[in-house]
A and B are shown apart, each in its own frame.
Chain A
Amino acid sequence: ENSPAPLPERAIYGFALFLGSWFGFMLYLIWAYVPETWLFSLGLTYWPQKYWAVALPAYLLVAIGIGYILLFGINMMSTAPLSSTHTITDNYAKKQQQKTFQEEAIPALRDIPISEVNRMFFLPEK
């Protein structure tokens, strides 16, 4: 029931958003360019200062730039250090139960301890 196919309701939402965003953009242009005296003569005296028409986009661009660096930094901080046991095992691997070994059956899926993996990879049996 959750397909991304176009529906009549979605077309109406899209058109409403399209009109809304054009209206918002025109309002922003009027606020930024129309002189204050003209707005006062129309009775619109309580609009924000025109300073913000330049300041908000500048803040937004700087925030996006910092966001790139911040995300990279958060990623690096969440990476486990080389001396942490999280690089070797975790709670699920510690609590796993050993299933009984059955002849001629594929062994059950489990987390193999790192010592065993190392022996298999790096100590070739002759």
Chain B
Amino acid sequence: MEERRYRSASGAPIALRCRQHSASCRELVVRCPRLQLRSLSAVTSAVWLAAYGLFVLSENSVVLSAAIFITLIGLIIYLHFVKIDQESLLVIGSLGIQVTSSYASGKESTTFIEMGQVKDVVINEAIHMQKVIYYLCILLQDPGDPQGISEVVPLFQSSKPRLDCLIEVYKSCQEILEQRKTAPQSS
């Protein structure tokens, strides 16, 4: 259950923790770096300096109080809707896959995909912004066509681990997904 350090696609340090709950149940948690004090103070100082400059030009003190409100509300919105603390993947062999994102304010958003819909978990590479990145994704089965893929669900979207971390997660998931092929009667 130890934590291994890796890097994200943009170079930020992330940590991967793998917990085995039973023979067919595994939880993989990727922890993103916390909000840095220096970036928070940089943004706050920039906004307040701009507001002070506007105040000097317009002689209106509403600008200053508006800047304080904007900073506070912006910080709360950022922590609650944007900043992700950790992303976890829970693979239960015969049941399904659960993807959880926990935000910095404590909010958790969960998605569950049942095993009947899951075709495979693969590492795909695609163009994102101006880079080509590797990312882990769940391929969902097309109900009409056994070979077809109806949907692609990308995982670890905000931590974006690099290939070495993704290979570890991929191997863990494949060990559990292989069990459903060898023992179809038990599911």
Contacts and interface: CB of A to CB of B under 8 A. Distances in A.
A76 interface: yes
A79 interface: yes
A118 B123 contact: yes
A60 interface: no
A85 B150 CA distance: 7
Nearest to B140: A85
A123 interface: yes
A88 B170 contact: no
A111 B89 CA distance: 30
A85 B123 contact: no
B120 A115 contact: yes
A49 interface: no
Contact of A115 (B122, B128, B152, B157): B122
Interface footprint category on B: 20 to 34
B128 A82 contact: yes
Contacts, number: 51
B124 interface: yes
A82 B124 CA distance: 9
Interface residues of A, number: 18
A89 B124 contact: no
Nearest to B135: A82
A114 to B, nearest CB: 5
Interface in B109-149: 119-120, 122-124, 126-129, 135, 137, 139, 147-149
Interface string A7-49: 0000000000000000000000000000000000000000000
Contact of A122 (B137, B150, B152, B167): B167
B54 interface: no
Given A82-B135, A82-B157, A87 B126 contact: yes
Q: Which 6 A-B pairs have the closest CB atoms?
A: A87-B126, A82-B154, A115-B120, A118-B122, A114-B122, A122-B167
Interface of B: 119-120, 122-124, 126-129, 135, 137, 139, 147-154, 157, 167, 170-171, 174
